[in-house]
Amino acid sequence: MSEAPAVLSVEGYDLSYGRFAALRDIRLAVPRGQVLGLVGESGSGKTSLAYAIMRHLPHSAVEGGGAIRLSGQDLRAMTAQQMRHIRGSRLGMVFQDPSASLNPTLRLGEHVIEVLRRHKRLTRPEARDRTEAMLRRVGLREPAAMMRRYPHEASGGEKQRVVIAAAFAAEPECLLLDEPTTALDVITARQILELFTELQAETGVAALYISHDLALVSRIAQRVAVIHRGRVVENDPAAQVFSNPREEYTRRLVAAVPRPDLRLVRDAPAEAAPVLAVQGMTVRYGRQGLLQRLAGRAAPLPAGAREVSLELRPGEILGVVGESGSGKSTIAKALVGLNGFEGALRHEGRSIAGPAAMDRDYRRAVQIVFQHPDASLNPRQSIGQILSRPLALYGTPDGLSRRDAVAALLEEVQLPADFAQRYPHQLSGGQKQRVAIARAFAARPKVVICDEITSSLDVSIQAQIVQLLLQLRERFGTGYLFITHDLNLVRQIAHRIAVMYRGDLVELADTAALGGPQSHAYTRALLDAVPTPVG
Amino acid sequence: MSASYLLRRLLTILLTVLIVSMLVFGITQVLPADAAVMLLGENATPEQLVAVRARLGLDLPVWQQYLGWIGHVLRGDFGTSLETGLPVGEVMFTALGRSLLLALLSLLLMLVVAIPLGVVAALRRGRASDLGIGLASYVGVSMPEFVTATLVLITLGNPAFGLLPSTGYVPLTEDFRGGLARLVLPVLTVSVILVAHVVRMVRSEMVDVLGTDYVRAARMKGLSRPRILFRHALRNALLPTITVVALDIGYLLGGIIVVEEIFAFPGIGRALIVAIQQRDLPSIQAGALIMAATYALANLLADLAYAALDKRIRYA
């Protein structure tokens, strides 16, 4: 490996919070023009490292030995005042969610102008001109108009372009990118990634790219460092980390990354009558104002999903994919009676006219698991109470006592029986999602709607949850409506995949046939945008 | 914000005031007071009373009386006081003007004091200055108005020190310096109460905003501290305060009767109390109606100001 002098180097750095060692003996180096990927699961210390480099640590942080150098200068020796001149000018940062990292009451242009004014000492007209040029460079078509907009008036992709323009504005030597595409749609994320790669090549900036997504990082970084429990366990060329990982942990991580070529479900669903059939379902949002109704000039309400038709056979896994706002969750909510709908819904041949017609039988048969267990589990109830509720409603199986049935449910989702006494906040994210799954299965449903249930989980936990779902399906013959934005994951498990785009179901095809020549243009764009693992 | 929104809001205010007018009129009907007795005194003969009632329309059905009253109100005529014989509208609007002067000066002083204190408390969270400000504002909030007012009176307003005139009111147009001097103590008293309340609001909003991703992003851009504090944090932290200030206006118009009473300040709260004590029905009706309308308008103004400052809010 050629030893170009490192722009950013971390040498034997230690950091702890109280007695908890967050980072131990971290060694990294990023030469000019290179991208180092930093991959780790939540709690691994990757964000702590980013803020240690930015010299923005909470008071509770205690630094041990080691140095953090930017072009040879030790940042740890810098005063707060000196750091304020280094941040944003020589050392930049791009954040995860552009909606949160842009000030909602500041015009978009101002977010770039303020950097140029501060670090390049430009006058306001100069900064304005430079900003306009920058915004054009990051691919915003009408930069002058965009500068006048407020963050809520721009799309996620446009906002992240502004954030990137601000990060590159002062021509930094080094950039830290903290999951810069995680909050974006697949296709937008791909575009942002391409933009970053272009700008990076153009400016020769050294970049530390932090992500939990090994597949994505292995595509843009020359080297990948894997961080686990505060230690860098692997630091190798990207292709090698993926194809030939050295460490046991990395091997497990790589194995957990969903790859569409490794199918996890081999059987085909039985050729039986559909358990759930939807015909021309339209879901509308909002309600007519009183005045409009009185005036009799009610405009049609906006539709979250239009004329959707699909059916689910017993034991089938039907994937539903699409970007945020495409109507995936809208349909899910309509199916469990949280949204009203127009069109026909049939459950085992029985017509269900609307939420009011969803009786106990229907609700028992069709259960839902939501994305955020933190929001869907009542924090003031113990796990036992949470699981007892559906048991009281639908009865315990095989004449078990309520307590035994709760224990049996916990066992089904591979949690210890004594979790019944615990409260949600005492559980990890993956454990909470297991409880949510147990709650759904308490009703012995025929269909479980999984609405992005693994999206907030780490990849290794996601793999375990998916494994659990497949085991439960094996045992109870449950069908899943599996809603996700993760195409690689859904292609591993779904029999058929429905693609939604802006409220329309644009395609419904067998998983193997998806993306073929007959596929819808949007489906193909979606498939192209997804980084599949290298190697 | 659309013109139709503004129109709708104004119509809503009109409706609110209309309902208030009915309530007020209804209440004055059940008050144990007879306007005819009030006018003629206890010794009037039954025949005189009947004659006066007929003259005033008091023998008509209630709804006719209401329509007659509201019709005059809409033409700007609130009637004449049973007690003084003066036109009620003029008296009440004059009192309202004085109250608004007191209210606006108090709000101004409050903002000048409360915002910096709240910011300091938020920036020095958990340290002595934060705890001190927090304690002081608790005391300020918990103290009854008459205590605050009395404290101000016996210190700054103490005739023995001769610092400031303690009571009374002189229009600024007549004697600017004297009028202003007499405003100092009531304004100070009212501000103390408001400051305590708003400091806590500003502090908690500021703490929230300082913890947001966008403030952290601003820090990571290496911006100067004043820029981060004022442009990124404080501006957003102040938005919810606007709503609180609008609610305070309601309090300032009606709720500071004790303060007005102690300083002999002839505001609308005091005028209303006097009217109630004297069973002066036209004055009660006019005062209550004017206060309700002012309060509704103040809230509209606050909503509009909020929308002007936070572009995410769009009233359609």
A positions 106-145 inside 8 Å of B (CB)? 106, 114-115, 118-119
Question: Residue A291: its chain B contacts at CB < 8 A?
Answer: 8
| A93 at interface of B, judged by CB pairs closer than 8 A | yes
Task: Tell me if A118 and B231 make a contact (CB, 8 A cut-off).
Answer: no
- Residue B70 and residue B26: Cα distance in Å, rounded? 12
Q: Closest by alpha carbon to A452, among A476, A432, A481? A: A481
Locus of tokens 């599996």: A482
Question: Residue B312: its chain A contacts at CB < 8 A?
Answer: 104-105, 150, 152
Q: Within a domain: residue B55? A: no
pLDDT at residue A288, rounded to an integer: 67
Tens-digit pLDDT profile for residues A48-61: 999 999 999 998 99
Identify the bridge partners of residue A178 per DSSP, sorted by sequence position: A210
**Tokens encoding A512:** 């193997």
Question: Residue B213: its chain A contacts at CB < 8 A?
Answer: 95, 97, 100-101
Backbone phi, psi, residue B232, to 5°: -90, -40
| Count of the separate structural domains present in chain B | 1
Q: Within a domain: residue B20? A: no
pLDDT at residue A333, rounded to an integer: 93
Find the closest chain B residue to A106 by CA distance: B232
Question: Residue B221: its chain A contacts at CB < 8 A?
Answer: 87-88, 92-93, 114-115, 118, 166
Residue of higher predicted confidence among A260 and B253: A260
| A294 at interface of B, judged by CB pairs closer than 8 A | no
| B29 at interface of A, judged by CB pairs closer than 8 A | no
A155, A192 contact by CB (below 8 A)? no
Amino acid type, A62:
V
Q: Within a domain: residue B77? A: no
Give the end-to-end CA distance of chain B in Å, rounded to a whole number. Answer: 6
Identify the bridge partners of residue B208 per DSSP, sorted by sequence position: none
pLDDT at residue B33, rounded to an integer: 65
Q: Within a domain: residue B12? A: no
| B232 at interface of A, judged by CB pairs closer than 8 A | yes
Q: Rounded to 10 degrees, what is the CA torsion of A283, A184, A528, A39?
A: -140
pLDDT > 60? residue B249: yes
**Tokens encoding A220:** 């843009």
Q: Closest by alpha carbon to A283, among A263, A259, A302? A: A302
Find the closest chain B residue to A50 by CA distance: B220
Q: For residue A184, with 0-12 CB atoms within 10 Å meaning exposed, 13-18 middle and 19 or more buried, which class applies?
A: buried
| B316 at interface of A, judged by CB pairs closer than 8 A | no
- Phi-psi domain of A249 (left: phi exceeds 0; alpha: psi -120 through 50; beta: other): alpha
Amino acid type, A291:
L
CB neighbour list of residue A509: distance below 8 Å, 6 or more residues apart? A496, A497, A516, A519, A523
Task: Tell me if B311 and A106 make a contact (CB, 8 A cut-off).
Answer: no
Q: Closest by alpha carbon to A150, among A98, A92, A86? A: A98
Neighbour tally for A268: CB within 10 Å = 11
> How many angstroms separate the Cα of B71 from the Cα of each of B57, B283, B294?
14, 16, 20
- Residue A335 and residue A352: Cα distance in Å, rounded? 10
Distance from CA of A369 to the nearest CA of B (A): 29
Task: Tell me if B220 and A166 make a contact (CB, 8 A cut-off).
Answer: no
User: Ranked by mean pLDDT, which of A61-70, B188-197, B277-286 comes out on top?
Assistant: A61-70
| B314 at interface of A, judged by CB pairs closer than 8 A | no
A415, A435 contact by CB (below 8 A)? yes
pLDDT at residue A1, rounded to an integer: 43
Residue of higher predicted confidence among B153 and A500: A500
The fold of the A276-529 domain, in CATH, is: Rossmann fold (3.40.50)
pLDDT at residue A225, rounded to an integer: 95
- Residue A86 and residue A397: Cα distance in Å, rounded? 64
Task: Tell me if B225 and A119 make a contact (CB, 8 A cut-off).
Answer: no
Q: Closest by alpha carbon to A309, among A358, A258, A344? A: A344
Backbone phi, psi, residue A448, to 5°: -120, 125
pLDDT at residue A261, rounded to an integer: 83
**Tokens encoding A37:** 């990927």
Locus of tokens 């939604």: A500
H runs (alpha helix) in A395-476: 402-412, 429-441, 459-476
Task: Tell me if A101 and B214 make a contact (CB, 8 A cut-off).
Answer: yes
ipTM of the complex: 0.83
Q: What integer is the mean pLDDT of B293-315?
A: 80
Question: Residue A119: its chain B contacts at CB < 8 A?
Answer: 222
Task: Tell me if B232 and A101 make a contact (CB, 8 A cut-off).
Answer: no
The domain containing residue B237 runs over which residues? 88-309
- Residue B86 and residue B98: Cα distance in Å, rounded? 18
Amino acid type, A510:
D
A445, A283 contact by CB (below 8 A)? no
Q: Within a domain: residue B31? A: no
For B213, the closest of A83, A86, A97 (CB atoms) is: A97
**Tokens encoding A451:** 């609405």
Distance from CA of B227 to the nearest CA of A (A): 9
Tens-digit pLDDT profile for residues B97-149: 998 888 889 989 988 999 999 999 999 988 899 999 999 988 888 888 888 88
CATH number for position B133? 1.10.3720.10
- Residue B89 and residue B109: Cα distance in Å, rounded? 30
Q: Within a domain: residue B183? A: yes
Domains of chain A by residue range = 99-171, 276-529
* Core vs surface per residue B203-212: b (16+ CB within 10 A) or e: bebbbebbeb
Tens-digit pLDDT profile for residues B59-81: 788 888 888 888 888 888 888 88
H or E element at residue A352? strand A350-352
* pTM attached to this predicted model: 0.82
Residues of chain A with pLDDT under 70: 1-4, 288-299, 533-535
